[in-house]
């Protein structure tokens, strides 16, 4: 549990340092306001985080004891990989918990902070939730790797060193995946409540929501298949020396850390970040229009 305290103290200390060295009274007040929002959101989600971390620990211990009893400890790797993928859901779930608490306490109506700070605080706390849980899962993976290293198994090749770089990229991808679903959820949530204010559109709100999401996905998919766009997206990349780990090393668990011979395409990443920023701005704009939660 010390990890959560470390991350919280780290971020709060960084913000306090910024406050100390800022001469502008306006910026000082803004930072203090945002610091207060972070504290409030942390208190709202803290209990859920303790419960989740305890559940993770119990799940790993129970699975490890059961697998050791039947001499199939290597089955812990599929379990851990499933937990990794499941973290893409933790980010939006943590955000939903915070939004539900806001709805129950009606903090949106009585607060003076803008939507950018309100949503930004919740995203930071949801990110803290996800990263802390990922850190614990990474610790379980390293422990399992060390225990199983001398033993061959059908799921993962342990003959090489621990793939720290590939694991870091994998963790970052999981966090960004969770952020993607969270921002889409925030935007569609705001859009739904905005449509609900108009009686003529309220009956068709869900239809419009599905049309906006799936229509956007269809357009982006079509654009990405257009050859000029493909050429543009592949025009900027960096070469990375990644460990070759293909699906054949993992038996039935398909996981491949490499793509296009170890090249990391930068345009898709930058455009994805820009898209996430647009979704965040749109959700904040809808909230600033006094969306009722």
**pLDDT number for residue 55:** 93
* Dihedral angle over CA of 251, 255, 261, 265, nearest 10: 170
Write down the pLDDT at residue 105. 62
The answer to whether the beta carbons of residues 94 and 48 sit under 8 Å apart is yes
Helix 2-20 vs helix 25-69: crossing angle, to nearest 10? 170
Q: pLDDT-derived band of residue 250, with 50, 70 and 90 as boundaries?
A: very low
Does residue 269 register a pLDDT over 80? yes
The mean-pLDDT minimum among 54-63, 121-130, 147-156, 183-192 falls in 147-156
63 vs 103, more confident:
63
Q: What pLDDT is attached to residue 54?
A: 94
Choice between 255 and 168, residue whose per-residue pLDDT is larger = 168
Torsion angle of C-alpha atoms 61, 64, 67, 71, degrees rounded to 10: -130
pTM here is 0.77
């Amino acid at each position: 549990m010390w990890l959560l305290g470390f991350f919280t103290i780290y971020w709060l200390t960084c913000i306090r340092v910024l406050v100390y060295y800022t001469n502008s009274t306006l910026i000082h007040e803004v930072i203090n306001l945002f610091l207060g929002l972070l504290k409030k959101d942390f208190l709202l989600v803290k209990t859920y985080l303790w419960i989740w971390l305890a559940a993770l620990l119990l799940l790993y211990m129970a699975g490890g004891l059961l697998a050791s009893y039947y001499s199939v400890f290597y089955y812990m790797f599929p379990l851990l990989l499933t937990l990794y993928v499941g973290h893409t859901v933790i980010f939006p779930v943590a955000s939903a918990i915070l939004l539900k608490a806001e709805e129950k306490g009606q903090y949106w109506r009585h607060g003076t902070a803008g939507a950018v700070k309100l949503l930004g605080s919740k995203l930071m706390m949801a990110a803290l939730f996800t990263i802390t849980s990922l850190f614990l899962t990474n610790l379980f993976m390293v422990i399992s790797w060390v225990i199983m290293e001398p033993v061959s198994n059908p799921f993962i090749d342990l003959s090489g060193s621990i793939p720290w770089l590939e694991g870091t990229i994998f963790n970052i991808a999981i966090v960004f995946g969770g952020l993607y679903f969270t921002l889409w959820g925030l935007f569609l949530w705001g859009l739904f409540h905005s449509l609900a204010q108009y009686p003529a559109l309220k009956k068709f709100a869900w239809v419009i929501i599905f049309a906006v999401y799936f229509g956007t996905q269809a357009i982006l998919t079509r654009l990405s298949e257009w050859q000029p766009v493909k050429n543009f997206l592949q025009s900027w990349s960096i070469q990375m020396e990644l460990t070759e780990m293909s699906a054949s090393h993992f038996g039935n668990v398909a996981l491949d850390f490499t793509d296009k011979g170890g090249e990391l395409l930068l345009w898709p990443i930058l455009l994805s970040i820009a898209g996430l920023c647009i979704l965040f701005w749109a959700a904040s704009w809808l909230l600033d229009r006094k969306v009722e939660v």
